[in-house]
A and B are shown apart, each in its own frame.
Chain A
Amino acid sequence: MEISLNVNGTAHSLEVPANTLLSDILRERLRLTGTHVGCDTSQCGACVVHVNGDAVKSCTVLAGQANGASVTTIEGIGTPDDLHPMQTAFRDNHALQCGFCTPGMIMSAIELVEKNDGLTEQAVRDGLEGNLCRCTGYHNIVKAVLAAARQM
């Protein structure tokens, strides 16, 4: 099927099989490999991107559902020279180890901060319910999100 979508400000028109996932479109077709795929069960959150402003698991969105959407991935929020405040906070607070979960964590965390005022530690922990990290034990991730919330 023919779909068009806007990714990080660039419009794309693509011919894809209907059973293609948004995560595969991003990674395989557009070569935006910052979006990771960590599970088969829609539980880990490594694949989180923003679709029309909402954080969603791109591994659980079909091509047809993404048709016409405006998508932001980890590549779209900052550059190595000009990091997003959330990226800076993750670096400053040692909120990553292997880094596999980090793109999804950051995309979830940005939505969480943008949609909620006065975040508490508990609210951050609840808000990251859909993102699993095998390395950090979450503690520094929570610290980073709270630090970024003060900056954003």
Chain B
Amino acid sequence: MYAFSYHKPATAQEAADLMASADEGAYLAGGMTLVPTLKQRLAAPSDVIDLTGIHGLRGIRTLDGKVKVGATTRHAEVAANEHIPVLADLAGRIGDPHVRNCGTLGGSVANSDPAADYPAAVVALDATVHTNKRAIAGDEFFKGLFETALEDGEIVTAVDFRAPSAAAYAKFPNPASRYAVVGVLVARYGDQVRVGVTGAGPCAFRAANIEAALAADFRPGAVDDVGIDYGDFNADLHASAEYRGHLVRVLAKRAVAQIGSADSG
């Protein structure tokens, strides 16, 4: 690890000021992505600015049908929270217990790893990402591979999720890391259906054609004939783009089946 200065500011303003005056600053939350990156010498920040000392960034609150999760709330805390069961289920399947005891929602969404789980929830659960400067619609947040709508130095403070009437997250985990090879979150809002996909493309996205098929006929079979354009999907040693395209359809069906069995049960 290269040398750096460590700071733990008490307010978002102080953190932003430290970032502005640093040669090359890096925010730190749970450290589950940043610290391994530092250890591999893939980053060389002059200043590491720990956000976990900022008051008011950690915790879960509900307000009129929405659940607000503070940016430094750990995966384990979301996994133990009952307000949106599908979000708890998703968070409880991130990595392993130690990663969930440290890793945070804000770190996960700011990082926009193509294989991260939370981004599927941000797009499927009609989320709003709050920062120290503005509110960004979940649909507009992820821009590409490790790329988001955040500007330099902008801090995620919380994410609001809209509670669905029913939802399920189906994930094909990489057996070694547990990251999603592909993950599909299907959420019903009355007659409306939202489908968030992670792992498949450069960043999380909504699958409009699956949404339309399911809005017309909410059964697993309705996804069978939906064409999946895997042209810009990720291909690596774990899965080809075509296989990821196949997984999108299979996992969407599994999620719908899970919702269906919960509805009838």
* Residues of A near any B CB (own CB < 8 A): 1, 17-19, 21, 40-43, 45, 48, 54-57, 59-65, 67, 108, 111-112, 127, 129-131
Contact = CB atoms under 8 A, between A and B. Distances in A.
Contact of A40 (B5, B40, B52): B40
A54 B75 CA distance: 13
Contacts of B5: 18
B215 to A, nearest CB: 34
B38 interface: yes
B4 interface: yes
Nearest to B35: A60
By size class, the interface of chain B is: 20 to 34
B48 A57 contact: no
A65 B98 contact: no
Contacts, number: 80
Given A60-B35, A129-B178, A130-B95, A18 B101 contact: no
Interface of B: 1-6, 8, 28, 31-32, 35-36, 38-40, 48, 50, 52, 76, 95-99, 101-102, 176-178
A130 B52 CA distance: 23
A1 B177 contact: no
Contact of B8 (A40, A64, A112): A64
Nearest to B39: A40
A64 B36 contact: no
A57 B6 contact: no
A23 B177 CA distance: 21
A56 B50 CA distance: 17
A42 B35 contact: yes
Given A19-B1, A64-B50, A56 B102 contact: yes
The interface residues of chain B, by DSSP majority, are classed as: mixed
Given A62-B48, A64-B6, A64-B8, A19 B38 contact: yes
Contact of A62 (B3, B6, B97, B177): B6
Closest 10 CB pairs of A and B: A130-B96, A64-B6, A18-B6, A129-B96, A54-B101, A19-B1, A60-B35, A130-B98, A57-B98, A42-B36
Contact of A61 (B3, B8, B35, B76): B35
Given A1-B6, A62-B35, A65-B31, 9 more contacts: A18-B48, A19-B1, A40-B40, A42-B32, A55-B101, A62-B31, A65-B28, A108-B98, A127-B97
Of the candidates A45, A62, A63, A112, the one having the most CB atoms from chain B within 10 angstroms of its own CB is A62
A60 B32 contact: yes
- Residue from B6, B39, B48, B50 with most neighbouring chain A CB atoms (10 Å): B6
22 contacts: A21-B35, A21-B39, A40-B36, A40-B39, A42-B35, A43-B176, A45-B98, A54-B101, A54-B102, A55-B98, A57-B98, A57-B99, A60-B36, A60-B39, A60-B102, A61-B31, A61-B35, A61-B102, A62-B31, A62-B48, A130-B96, A130-B99
B85 to A, nearest CB: 18
Contacts of A62: 6, 28, 31, 35, 48
Given A18-B6, A40-B40, A45 B31 contact: no
A19 B6 CA distance: 8
A56 B1 contact: no
Contacts of A59: 39
A45 B96 contact: yes
B2 A19 contact: yes
Contacts of B40: 40
A129 B5 CA distance: 33
A19 B42 CA distance: 14
B157 to A, nearest CB: 20
Contacts of B50: 64-65
